[in-house]
Chains A and B, each alone.
Chain A
Amino acid sequence: MDPMKAQQLAAELEVEMMADMYNRMTNACHRKCVPPHYKEPELTKGESVCLDRCVAKYLDLHEKLGRKLTELSVQDEEMMRKAAVGSGH
Chain B
Amino acid sequence: MAATTSASNAAVSDSQGPASPGSSADNPTIQYSVILDHLIGDKRPIKDPNPAVLGGLPVPPKSNEQKMIERGMESCAFKSVLACVGGFVLGGAFGIFTAGIDTNVGFDPKDPLRTPTAREVLKDMGQRGMSYAKNFAIVGAMFSCTECIIESHRGKSDWKNAVYSGCVTGGAIGFRAGLKAGVLGCGGFAAFSAAIEYYLR
Query: Which A residues are within 8 Å of any B CB, using their own CB?
Result: 1, 3, 5-7, 9-11, 13-15, 17-19, 22-23, 26, 33, 35, 39, 44-50, 53, 62-63, 66-67, 69-70, 72-77, 79-81, 83-84, 87
Contact = CB atoms under 8 A, between A and B. Distances in A.
B64 interface: no
A69 B36 contact: yes
A49 B30 CA distance: 41
Contacts of A3: 34, 38
A84 B34 CA distance: 19
Size range of the interface on B? Answer: 35 or more
Contacts of A22: 51, 54-56
Contacts of B74: 45, 48
A21 B41 CA distance: 15
14 contacts: A7-B43, A9-B35, A22-B55, A35-B158, A45-B152, A46-B151, A46-B152, A46-B157, A50-B156, A70-B40, A73-B32, A80-B8, A81-B21, A87-B16
A39 B157 CA distance: 11
Contact of B155 (A7, A53, A63): A53
Given A77-B21, A84-B22, A72 B41 contact: no
Given A11-B45, A73-B36, 5 more contacts: A10-B35, A10-B44, A47-B157, A48-B74, A73-B32
A67 B34 contact: no
A26 B57 CA distance: 13
A61 to B, nearest CB: 12
Contacts of B4: 72, 76
B31 A77 contact: yes
Nearest to A85: B22
Given A69-B36, A70-B36, A76-B4, A1 B29 contact: yes
A13 B39 contact: yes
Nearest to A51: B155
Contacts of A67: 40-41
